[in-house]
Amino acid sequence: MDRPRYSRRDFLTTMGLGTAALATPGWVRALGQFTTTEAANRPNIILIMADDMGFSDVGCYGGEIHTPNIDGLAADGIRFTNFYNAARCCPTRAALLTGLYPHQAGIGGMVSRPDNPKPPGPYQGYLNDQCVTIAEVLRGAGYHTLMSGKWHVGESKPHWPLDRGFERYFGLINGAANYFDFTKGKAPGRKRVIAIDDQPYVPPKEGFYLTDAISEYAVNYLAEYGHQDQPFFLYVSYTAPHWPLHALPEDIEKYRGTYRKGWDTLRKERYERLLELGLIDRKWSLSDRDAEVPPWQSIENKAEMDLKMAVYAAQIDRMDQGIGRILRTLRSLGKEQDTLVLFLSDNGGCHEDSPLGFDLRNNGLPPGGVDSFMSYGSAWANASNTPFRLFKHWVHEGGIATPFVARWPAVIKQRGQIDHQGGHVIDLMATCCDLAGVPYPETYQGRDIHPLEGKSLLPILQGEQRQGHDALYWEHEGNRAVRRGRWKLVSVENGAWELYDLEADRTELHDLAGEQPELVKELLAMYNAWARRCGV
CA 409 to CA 75: how far, in whole Å?
11
Q: Verify whether residue 432 is a known catalytic residue.
A: no
- Tell me what percent of the chain is helix, strand and coil, each rounded to the nearest 5: 30, 15, 50
End-to-end CA gap in the chain = 50
Is the separation of the CB atoms in 124 and 106 below 8 Å? yes
d(CA 215, CA 219): 6
Q: Which residues pair with 424 in a beta bridge?
A: 84
E strand or H helix that includes residue 446: none
Phi, psi dihedral angles at 529 (to 5 degrees): -65, -45
Secondary structure of 150-193 in HEC code, one letter for each residue:
CCCCCCCCCCCHHHHCCCEEEEECCCCCCCCCCCCCCCCCCCCC
Question: Read out DSSP for 462-502?
Answer: TT------S-EEEEETTEEEEEETTEEEEE-TTPPPEEEET
User: What DSSP character marks residue 37?
Assistant: H
How many Å apart are CA 243 and CA 230, to the nearest integer? 37
CA–CA separation, 416 and 330 (whole Å): 20
Q: Decide if 89 is catalytic.
A: yes
C-alpha distance from residue 464 to each of 402, 413, 417, 433 (Å): 22, 11, 12, 18
Catalytic choice (144, 152, 396, 424):
152
Taking CA atoms, 356 is separated from 96, 188, 306, in Å, by: 31, 24, 11
Q: Is residue 151 within 8 Å of residue 164, measured between CB atoms?
A: no
Rounded to the nearest 10°, the torsion over CA 118, 479, 519, 536 is 0
Cα→Cα distances 270→164, 297, 420, 502, 526, Å:
40, 19, 19, 20, 35
- Name the DSSP letter for residue 112: P
- Tell me which of 60, 89, 90, 534 is the catalytic residue: 89
**Looking at this protein, which amino acid is placed at residue 138?**
L
Give catalytic residues, as residue numbers. Answer: 89, 152
